[in-house]
Amino acid sequence: MTMIIEKNRVDQRNFSIIIFSLFFGWLLSVPFEGQVLYTLISDAQIEGKTHNTIAVFAHFIGLFITGFLVKRQILAKVIMIVSTIICIIGSLIFFLPFSMLWYVSLFFISFFSGLFVASWGFYFKVYSKPDQRFKIAAEVLIYSNILMILINVVSVHTSALIALKLSIITLIAILFITIRLEVFSNEQLNEKINLEAKNVQNDLLSITKPLVFLCLFIFIITLNSGLMYQVVNPKFAHLTVITSYYWAVPYIVALLILRNLPGNINKSYILYIALIMIGLSFILFMWLDKSIFSYLVINTLMLGALGVCDLFWWSILARFFDYHDNPAKVLGIGLSMNVLGILVGGFIGNSIFSQENDVIKVSLIALLIIFIVMIFLPILNIYLTKLLKNHVFLFNFVNLEDSKQEKVIVDVWDNKNLTAKEIEVIKLILRGYTYKAISEQLFISENTTKFHVKNIYQKMNVNTKMELIKMFTENEK
């Protein structure tokens, strides 16, 4: 009986992965900056990028409000079915001659696609264990981008209408598979909430603050994606063949590498590498020409880095499911910040970029964003490690057993001539406490805390909390 239940669980998880991969692939190839839509608009000889703004804005609204409307899994399934039907009907409108009806249809399919994506969070949570969600997030992003490439190639090299028909067939397949998904009762869902996770939430801090910081981080870094869509991609629009085939390949390769890295490899610094890659791609964007070589270099750096970034926040949002009873709200709000960043970044790019000389301005803005994110990331890490102590993108010290943590600290104590009070301060810093929280915990003033921290940094020969955590991570190894 247990084997039958487990097999059914695996089947349902596979169904949910297939459904989302197909839907997200359709979303990326049609309404959301999709090549099918671009080609259809171009064939209709329509000027401007109004359709992009409508699609991205409507998708943002759909993602953001889902969690406030959908609070039960049964409703999530209904929303997914209804959204798919509306997307099928809305897609049929594009077979008609261009009119304002196209824009109306685009708004509704983009809005309901947002509802679908966020609602899927219930199935992401129910049919996966916390340690499986990193790989599942990687898989759905990989599969959906492969589908997007296939549809894009058909659109560019065969016909946009044939690609549109293919995308509608995809939606019909999604509809039939979604109907087969099972629904858990609220009681069953509540039983799945991890008691330990609840205790962590109550003892350390609520989910709100780290989630807000994560959303802010997603928004800021995704501004560069908006700049890429509206400034970088148009520069290489003349390379039709290579852009249609190669565009998402570095993204997929980055996800494959991360998904298959051995568990004992420290992945906590990969995000910093990705940020450097984004910065380097914009620097090269300033210097290089419009050749195929330039495109390959810039696109490889940028899309590979964005693959890392996307997997970071997808997997982090998935881990937040264990601290919240509405995964649609967590996933919807988190991903809506991704979409909002693209919308605002695109607006900034369109406002600035009008001639070749503006490439420098755009790239400098992108580098400024990277600089802000690099400063912001250690703070985000502190908040996240309080809740997600075993996530692959976070620093490793908080993953150690208490006995191992103590051994590392004792070794440093002996070698660095630290005082007992300084050791207490270090322990709290490594657990993510702020200066104010350390002061309250140790019954000392904030100025005294800062004095101890200054002495610690001098003795440890570091300048920041991030360097301190890195030193203890290396000591553990």
pLDDT score of 263: 64
What is the topology classification, in CATH, of domain 193-394? Growth Hormone; Chain: A; (1.20.1250)
Q: Give the number of other CB atoms < 10 A from CB of residue 184.
A: 19
CB 462 within 8 A of CB 468: yes
- 240 vs 218, residue with greater confidence: 218
**Higher-confidence position of 228 and 338:** 338
User: With contact defined as beta carbons under 8 Å apart, do 475 and 412 qualify?
Assistant: yes
Name the token pair of 97: 């001659």
pLDDT reported for residue 206 = 59
Residues 196-205: what's their mean pLDDT?
A: 40
Q: What angle do CA 136, 139, 145 make, to 5 degrees?
A: 140
CA-closest candidate to residue 387, choices 320, 325, 333: 320
According to the model, what pLDDT value does residue 11 have? 76
The domain limits of the chain are: 1-192, 193-394, 397-476
**Which CATH code fits 1-192?**
1.20.1250.20
Q: How far is CA 286 from CA 225, 243, 277, 305, 346, in A?
A: 16, 19, 14, 18, 18
- Could you give the dihedral angle defined by the CA atoms of residues 281, 287, 289 and 292, in that order, rounded to the nearest 10 degrees? -30
- Taking Cα atoms as reference points, which of 117, 186, 181, 119 lies closest to residue 325? 186
The answer to whether residue 338 scores a pLDDT higher than 70 is: yes
> CATH top-level class for 397-476?
mainly alpha
Distance, in Å, from the CA atom of 321 to the CA atom of 221, rounded to the nearest integer, reads 23
Residue 293, C-beta contacts closer than 8 angstroms, at least 6 positions apart: none
pLDDT value at 151 more than 50: yes
Q: Dump pLDDT digits (tens) for 364-384.
A: 888 899 988 888 887 787 777
Q: Is the pLDDT of residue 354 over 70?
A: no
Match 């970088």 to its residue by tokens.
232
DSSP letters for 278-292: HHHHHHHHHH--SSH
| Residue 323: predicted pLDDT | 79
Per the CB < 8 A criterion, the answer to whether 243 and 365 are in contact is no
State residue 62 phi and psi, 5-degree precision: -60, -45
Residues 62-113 have pLDDT tens digits of 999 999 999 999 999 999 999 999 999 999 999 999 999 999 999 999 999 9
| 396-451 per-position pLDDT tens digit | 444 444 455 555 666 666 666 788 888 888 878 776 677 777 887 788 988 899 89
Q: Is the distance from CB of 66 to CB of 76 less than 8 angstroms?
A: no
Give the span between the Cα atoms of 79 and 266, in whole angstroms: 39
Report the percent of the chain where pLDDT is more than 70: 82
pLDDT at 48: 66
pLDDT band for position 182 (cuts 50, 70, 90): confident
- Residue 455's H or E segment, with its range, is helix 446-460
Model-level pTM? Answer: 0.78
Residue 115 CA: distances (Å) to CA of 33, 87, 136, 137, 303 = 18, 11, 20, 18, 26
Give the per-residue pLDDT at 361.
Answer: 80
Burial classification of residue 318, based on how many CB atoms lie within 10 Å of its CB (0-12 exposed, 13-18 middle, 19 or more buried): buried
Percent of the chain topping pLDDT 90: 44
Q: Residue 133: exposed, middle, or buried by beta-carbon count in 10 A (0-12, 13-18, 19+)?
A: buried
CB 274 within 8 A of CB 327: no
| Mean pLDDT (the chain, rounded) | 83
Statement: residue 475 has pLDDT above 90? no
Say how many C-beta atoms besides its own lie within 10 A of residue 173's C-beta. 16
Span 3-30, pLDDT tens digits: 555 556 677 888 999 999 999 999 999 9
Q: Give the chain's count of helices (H) and strands (E).
A: 23, 0
* Mean pLDDT to the nearest integer, 191-197: 41
pLDDT-based confidence at residue 127 (cuts at 50, 70, 90)? confident
Residue 198, pLDDT score:
41
Give me the mean pLDDT over the 457-475 stretch.
Answer: 73
432 CB neighbour count, 10 Å cutoff: 23
Q: Is the pLDDT of residue 55 over 60?
A: yes
Say whether 237 sits in a helix, a strand or coil.
coil
Rank 130-134, 201-205, 392-396, 466-470 by mean pLDDT and report only the highest. 130-134
> At 59, is the pLDDT very low, low, confident or very high (cuts 50, 70, 90)?
very high
Distances (CA, A) of 451 to 425, 435, 455: 11, 11, 6
Identical fold for domains 1-192 and 397-476, yes or no, is no
All residues at 6 or more sequence positions from 238 whose CB lies less than 8 Å from its CB, including other chains: 290
Selection from 29-33, 166-170, 458-462 with the highest mean pLDDT: 166-170
Half-sphere exposure (CA, 13 Å, Cβ side) for 187? 0
DSSP state of 204: T
